[in-house]
Structure 1
Amino acid sequence: MSFENFRKSFRDSLGSKASKSVSARDSDFSIIREIEEVGVGIFWASDIDGSIAYLSENAIASLGCESADLLGRPLVEVFRDCGSAECKGESRNLAFRLQSRTTLDNLIVKVAPGQGAEARGTRYWRICGAPFMNEEGDFKGYRGNATDVTEEFRAQKEIARQSQYDELTGLANRRRLSERLAGILQSFKGRSCALMMLDLDRFKQVNDTMGHPAGDELLKQVADRLKALVKDIGEVGRLGGDEFQILLPDFEDRGELGELAGRIVQMLSQPYSINGRRANIGTSIGIAIAPFDGITATELIGSADMALYRSKEDGRGLYRFYTAELRDAANIGLRLEEELRDALESGELNMIYQPLVDPRTNRVKCFEALMRWNHPQKGAISPSVFIPIAERSDLILKLGEWALEQACQDAAQWPDHLRVAVNVSAKQFLQANMPKLVASTLKRSGLAPSQLELEVTESVFVGGVDAVDQTFEKLDRLGIRLAMDDFGTGYSSLGYLKRAPFAKIKIDQSFVRGCTESGDSNPAIISAVVALAGALQMETVAEGVEAMDELALVTERGADLVQGYVYSHPLSQDEILAKFAEGEWIFKAEGPPRYRTDRMSIYRRAGLIHEDHYYDIMLRNLSKTGARIEGLANVPVGTEVVLDLGGGQLVVSEIIHSTESSQGLQFETPLISDGYSGFMTRHRVSPYLLAEAGMPLAALGAGNTPFVRQSTQPQRPPKFIQLNPTPRAGIN
């Protein structure tokens, strides 16, 4: 179409009632020409078939291409609908508008670039246009004008991006993550979504010692590693500081989530190179899964935060899944902290000692001091419960001083060739007066410095603080021995062994358990640690040895000492003195011939479902593949049942042995590790499924699954005899 023909069409499409006289046409032509010459107007037209029929000179200049590259192409290929996400909902479907022949009013489109050498890439235009009808009322195409708003549009997009993404790392920010999580949970009720909360361990020390620019670079490298691990299965975000979050839509398999969390812990603990310097950090992770652990975004975030807090309490460099028991434990912890302060004053704490034995001679060489709390009402409280409570405050310092004092006083009564090993928390070790405290304690007790060992974990290494090296040096000058505990479980680095004057490395029990199973890689790890220790002239201790086959393996691999139930449970001071009075220095190895799959000794209520009855039972022990229960009689071997572990965890099982009051169960599908010391099912019953069965919709609680409701159908008589409290009502 010539410009002269377009002029008239354009004038008419805008609804002009101007005269058809030559003078009027010349006037219109002049106005359009002037608009183009000052660089304001962009004009376009399509033909009856919807193809580009005309582009003004300014339009061609805006795109930086030749008109031949675009003329004749379908309008919907040249003017592309941005989409609501990109253009903030300003445009409806462009093809629909053109097909329905509606007016285009300030519609933002992206214009495809031409193929010419001068093409400037995608441009954004704000277009106006209207369908053009001839004098007979026939549709002849669209006529319109446009404004190039590329820079404005890109600036708005950048502003929008900055409001959604972290400026430093380029990851999603808190706002975007919150909006997306809320959208996922609201878009489809019952949709699963896993949430991981990450907190970097020891980042502050690196930031303080190497400077904030180094800290920023470290955060960027952490972000890159997380994106490489998560890929396209989820979205990684930074909440601020050293806190990160990972959204994993449609994930609820706790086995897969545990494997991913384990890889993240391992990857983030690898050394970082920053401006030619080496930095070592790690991460702690808390995991919660919707809808099991929270129906709303607020609930789910709170659950993940609680799990993260627990992973830090348990030693850092770990991942933890949220359970309702964590919430209950947090409430109990507040009360226990005050009671623990009183326990220290009232003498409720005591020390027991587990022997470290030479496996070749069976002679004891050392005892590790272990703290115990016997509560007057609650009975024995595990150190795994009260030590993390103490570490949240300065109470751990008082407990540490008491333990050191008591252990030295007790060991002073032992033969001179025996040593006592005392665990020291990182908080206590980093106290400036630590060497003076040790020296004064040794002096009061009369214990020789060579008889004292201090066991520390990798958490005492905090980014190369000079005070740590000075403490090591002062303690070494006192003549005591230093040992690295739990070697290989966190962020172990050979640099630690080089920096500190360690005399002993303790191989963590996680490398001992299962080391005799076929295909297990732990024997190679044990051999490597023993060889490393030998090269550095350090002693090695294998922890947690319980079976005779484990003892044979760690002995054959060269461990110098063995600690575990295969030789002895921890002993009181009176038991040790009585043994020494009889001149007994030998501990005979006793235990099962072979390692068995991890089995937890527990005592708690659970449920058992058989046919249309629910029975209350006591769970006595639990492993990945089975359990032992009490509370039922008349249960035949071979019976198929469902074990209810609570919190939506149902396990299809078979009775494999049965007595008058206890039964052994074998699971159809093995349980998985919870990342610490327990077991759990991969999958759980959704609270939405329970709601369909008539139960209130809520995140799963700590108790047994509320899977029971009154049946309107006659029930068959129960097959089993309930020995403990009355069984629950039948289920459909």
Structure 2
Amino acid sequence: MGRLLKRFSGGATKIAKAGGEETPLAPIQSSDVARRAALLDSLEKSDLGWFWASDGAGRLIYLSEPAIERVMPEKEDLIGKQLSDFFKDDDYEGVSPQRTLKFQLAARNSLRPTVVKIENGDRTYWWEISGSPRIGETEQFSGYHGIARDVTASIASQRDAEKLSRYDSLTGLSNRHRISRKLSSMLISFKAAKRSCAIMLLDLDRFKQVNDTMGHPAGDELLKQVAARLKRIIGDCGEIGRIGGDEFQVILPDIEDRQDLSGIAERAIQMLSQPYSINGMRAVIGCSVGMAIAPFDGIESEELVKAADLALYAAKGGGRGRFRFYSSDLRDQASHRHQIEEDLRDALIKEELEMHYQPIVTADGHKVVCVEALMRWKHPERGMVSPADFIPVAEEVGIIRELGEWAIFEVCNQVTRWPEGIGAAINVSAVQFASDNLIEIVKRALKKSGVQPSRIELEITESVFVGDMERALRIFRELKQVGVRLALDDFGTGYSSLSYLRDAPFDKIKIDQSFVRGCSEEGNNNGAIVAAVVSLASALNMQTVAEGVETKDELKAITAQGASHIQGALFSRAQPASFITERMDSGELVFEPLGPEKYRSDRRTEFRKIGLIHDDSRYQVFLRNLSKTGAKIEGLLEVPVGTEVVLDLGGGQLAVASVRRSEGISQGLEFETPLISDGADGLCTRHRVSPYQIEAVGRKLQALKDEDVAAITGGMSKAKKAFLEVDLATLSVD
């Protein structure tokens, strides 16, 4: 420091008076220089503060020795380095300062105390620096003199405290507050830049069961492992936050292709559903995913999160272990679901519930030997309510136990009215299985009805093995001691393990319909999977039931693979007890296969109005059926084969298509780009009309509305139409 002081203290120093004259001061004496040098050296060595200096070109020409020793092993590696390369802007949380250090140095103004970052290998330090520009006698800028102090400890402490307020202490992920702020700021900037942003909400299925049976420490460890898997799935593509006990949110910027999002969601569901090892124990959970995309489903963060939440709700209601995209009709479904919840509480009291029965027949002679009992709700105003609508609600609001108990008593009573050789299978939910009184309920129902226990079969899903497997196996053994039969339902749909097949005393394995569907098609692996399950069951002395058989080619393939029993609409849908009783009383125990010859993949029968665009004209047509590759429509007269059209499937979904068949008012279309699964039982387009495109033609920027899409796709056109529209109600030409 003494050398630097001498270098810049030689000669007289001038100061300006008020009148503008300059008066030279007496030269600094050498004794003064020595005292100052000693004082500054003492200050440097105390580590209370350091000194630095640069030349006019912005190069570092001096730094206190203690400072050099702290951050750089070799002085030669530092002196001569550009200040902006040594002192770097602190971009904590990805937010750069409004005025960068490089900008301030270039302006040659005084540097106010500024926190900078210094990096050396894997070590990072934070200093607070300030400085003043030096102007020589020729009024030339000759660099900076400045001071610095190490604030690494205080910065680290401050950021640790901030991290606690912004990050989840258990998983290290962003917490609800931080991920919400991140989404809000991102949507604001993305709206200005006309960019898209997707969010995913993930909810762990059956996490509460693990938490309750294995304890909260095990639940915490499970959440840590879930977070680690999510990080591997998402990588650098997005930001992950934990927003609740077992709920996570993922922000995925610049992704609007729903096929890409489907892939991410499917990987998340698959990976998070794999078994976890916790303190030497095995736990299996699932995952449901809801997705929404800005600006299509919402412009503001609150609107977008609400849309994703509705999609998540629909995914959980659809059977869990699924993903769903948001669509506008989910709002109506949510309202409908709320009404179901209100009415369901009174359904038992008002005796609105009834059991229907679907025959299970032998593969060789198609003789009914068992029926599956399926609950139905006959609502006084809405008619028959689908179990897919009310069973998830019953599980969610906690009345599934009461419904399950009623079903066991009802079925046991009904079976006593049928021939001795006919049994009935009753579905037992995971919630009901977890209750402590299941065995007692079964015993009471058997005693009250007088039915032989061997005629009652309890269908259990693999999810009951989540958490405490020893408890599950104990309950199975006790049920077998009671005398009832046990069937493993939905085998192979995500939680399969040979270990519990080895230990659990099942009598039957039910092959899920997802493996039956398409098993007759060449190149489809489902047939091989069915054969493997049948072989496994045979080795374990278990029967097999192929569920959901709908076509004769599926029946042929399943029978060839060796399945012992068949169940599906090909023989009969679920029927009221009176129908089954009448058949049995008349001795008609054989059901003939009645249905289509061949399976047709992904073709859904529909009957709804949609838009069709041709040139500048827009038409209303009826959609008869829909598949991934095409559709059948009605409502236009004599459209030539080869005509290029666009179908407006609603929600901004435009599908470019060509007419491949045309007969009168009916046309068969082939899509230019195949549709994809919407995560449920429907299909959707990969891309949609962007609200930014709608805004560009003068309309308000908002989430997609069908009327806006119609307006920009020929809805307001006065051009003469090329085709005649037919009113299907009257079959008159408009």
Tell whether the structures are fold-level matches, with TM greater than 0.5. Answer: yes
Match for 2:590: what amino acid? I
Give 1:136's aligned residue: 138
TM-score by length of 2: 0.90
Contact 2:355-2:411 at 8 Å conserved across structures = yes
Contact 1:9-1:143 at 8 Å conserved across structures = no
1:92 to 85, 99, 104: 99
Match for 1:138: what amino acid? Q
The DSSP-based 3-state class of the residue aligned with 1:407 is helix
Q: 1:332, 1:158 → 2: CA distance?
A: 46
Contact 1:442-1:448 at 8 Å conserved across structures = yes
Q: CA deviation at 1:297?
A: 0.7
Q: 2:407, 2:501 → 1: CA distance?
A: 26
Note closer, same or farther for the CA distance 1:363–1:692 as it changes in structure 2 (3 Å cut): same
Is 1:285 matched up with 2:289?
yes
**Number of aligned positions between the proteins:** 721
Q: CA deviation at 1:305?
A: 1.5
Q: CA deviation at 1:596?
A: 0.8
2:44 to 20, 36, 43: 36
Q: 1:221, 1:459 → 2: CA distance?
A: 19
Contact 2:5-2:33 at 8 Å conserved across structures = no
Q: 1:11, 1:192 → 2: CA distance?
A: 65
The DSSP-based 3-state class of the residue aligned with 1:92 is coil
Give 1:521's aligned residue: 525
Note closer, same or farther for the CA distance 1:615–1:342 as it changes in structure 2 (3 Å cut): farther
Match for 1:699: what amino acid? A
Q: In terms of mean alpha carbon deviation, does 405-414 or 671-680 score higher?
A: 405-414
The aligned runs of 1:256-267 (5 Å cut-off) are 256-267=260-271
Q: 1:11, 1:61 → 2: CA distance?
A: 35
Q: 1:569, 1:138 → 2: CA distance?
A: 94
Give 1:255's aligned residue: 259
2:114 to 89, 95, 107: 107
Percent identity of the aligned residues? Answer: 50
Is 1:450 matched up with 2:454?
yes
Q: 1:694, 1:3 → 2: CA distance?
A: 67
Q: 1:708, 1:481 → 2: CA distance?
A: 61
Give 2:429's aligned residue: 425
Q: CA deviation at 1:437?
A: 2.8
Q: In terms of mean alpha carbon deviation, does 665-674 or 299-308 score higher?
A: 665-674
The DSSP-based 3-state class of the residue aligned with 1:677 is coil
The DSSP-based 3-state class of the residue aligned with 1:697 is coil
Contact 1:626-1:666 at 8 Å conserved across structures = yes
Q: 1:608, 1:120 → 2: CA distance?
A: 61
Note closer, same or farther for the CA distance 1:500–1:314 as it changes in structure 2 (3 Å cut): farther
The aligned runs of 1:271-282 (5 Å cut-off) are 271-282=275-286
Give 1:617's aligned residue: 621
Contact 2:368-2:591 at 8 Å conserved across structures = yes
Q: 1:428, 1:106 → 2: CA distance?
A: 65
Q: 1:329, 1:685 → 2: CA distance?
A: 24
Match for 2:286: what amino acid? G
Deviations 1:686-722 (A, max 9, x none): 2232333454433235889444588886421451223
Give 2:71's aligned residue: 63
Contact 2:617-2:714 at 8 Å conserved across structures = no
Match for 1:6: what amino acid? R
The aligned runs of 1:216-227 (5 Å cut-off) are 216-227=220-231
Give 1:186's aligned residue: 188
Note closer, same or farther for the CA distance 1:69–1:721 as it changes in structure 2 (3 Å cut): closer
Q: 2:708, 2:688 → 1: CA distance?
A: 12
Gapped runs of 5+ residues in structure 1?
Answer: 114-118, 727-732
The DSSP-based 3-state class of the residue aligned with 1:608 is strand
Give 2:412's aligned residue: 408
The DSSP-based 3-state class of the residue aligned with 2:169 is coil
Q: CA deviation at 1:423?
A: 1.8
Is 1:212 matched up with 2:212?
no
Contact 1:125-1:146 at 8 Å conserved across structures = yes
Q: 2:81, 2:373 → 1: CA distance?
A: 84
Deviations 1:467-506 (A, max 9, x none): 6445433322221111121112232233443453221111
1:461 to 443, 456, 465: 465
Q: In terms of mean alpha carbon deviation, does 687-696 or 353-362 score higher?
A: 687-696
Deviations 1:92-126 (A, max 9, x none): 3333333332222212223454xxxxx99443322
Q: CA deviation at 1:178?
A: 1.3
Q: In terms of mean alpha carbon deviation, does 274-283 or 178-187 score higher?
A: 274-283
Contact 1:209-1:465 at 8 Å conserved across structures = no
Contact 2:12-2:27 at 8 Å conserved across structures = no
The DSSP-based 3-state class of the residue aligned with 1:575 is helix
RMSD across aligned C-alpha pairs, in angstroms? Answer: 3.2
Give 1:666's aligned residue: 670
Q: In terms of mean alpha carbon deviation, does 400-409 or 307-316 score higher?
A: 400-409
Q: CA deviation at 1:328?
A: 0.7
Q: CA deviation at 1:69?
A: 3.1
Q: 2:562, 2:14 → 1: CA distance?
A: 93
Contact 1:171-1:237 at 8 Å conserved across structures = yes
Note closer, same or farther for the CA distance 1:69–1:481 as it changes in structure 2 (3 Å cut): same
The aligned runs of 1:646-685 (5 Å cut-off) are 646-685=650-689
Contact 1:90-1:107 at 8 Å conserved across structures = no
The DSSP-based 3-state class of the residue aligned with 2:337 is helix
Is 1:236 matched up with 2:236?
no
Match for 2:580: what amino acid? I
Contact 1:107-1:128 at 8 Å conserved across structures = yes
Q: 1:565, 1:91 → 2: CA distance?
A: 67
Q: 1:79, 1:654 → 2: CA distance?
A: 62
Match for 1:640: what amino acid? E
The DSSP-based 3-state class of the residue aligned with 1:593 is coil
The aligned runs of 1:582-597 (5 Å cut-off) are 582-597=586-601
Q: 1:659, 1:240 → 2: CA distance?
A: 56
Match for 1:613: what amino acid? S
Q: 1:640, 1:177 → 2: CA distance?
A: 45
Note closer, same or farther for the CA distance 1:616–1:397 as it changes in structure 2 (3 Å cut): farther
Q: 1:155, 1:276 → 2: CA distance?
A: 37
Contact 2:200-2:289 at 8 Å conserved across structures = yes
Contact 1:356-1:364 at 8 Å conserved across structures = yes
Q: 2:374, 2:458 → 1: CA distance?
A: 13
Give 1:124's aligned residue: 126
Note closer, same or farther for the CA distance 1:264–1:38 as it changes in structure 2 (3 Å cut): closer
Is 1:330 matched up with 2:334?
yes
Contact 1:83-1:92 at 8 Å conserved across structures = no
The DSSP-based 3-state class of the residue aligned with 1:185 is helix
Q: 1:11, 1:270 → 2: CA distance?
A: 80
Contact 1:626-1:664 at 8 Å conserved across structures = yes
Is 1:561 matched up with 2:565?
yes
Q: 1:490, 1:599 → 2: CA distance?
A: 25
Give 1:164's aligned residue: 166
1:198 to 178, 195, 202: 202
Match for 1:8: what amino acid? S
The DSSP-based 3-state class of the residue aligned with 1:8 is coil
The DSSP-based 3-state class of the residue aligned with 1:646 is coil
Q: CA deviation at 1:608?
A: 2.4
1:643 to 644, 647, 652: 647
Q: 2:707, 2:569 → 1: CA distance?
A: 33
The DSSP-based 3-state class of the residue aligned with 1:123 is strand
Match for 1:501: what amino acid? P
TM-score by length of 1: 0.90
Contact 1:81-1:91 at 8 Å conserved across structures = no
Q: 2:221, 2:350 → 1: CA distance?
A: 51
Q: CA deviation at 1:679?
A: 1.4
Q: CA deviation at 1:455?
A: 1.4
Match for 2:103: what amino acid? F
Q: 1:527, 1:236 → 2: CA distance?
A: 41
Deviations 1:361-391 (A, max 9, x none): 2222212222334445434332222322333
Contact 1:83-1:91 at 8 Å conserved across structures = no
The DSSP-based 3-state class of the residue aligned with 2:232 is helix
Q: CA deviation at 1:242?
A: 1.9
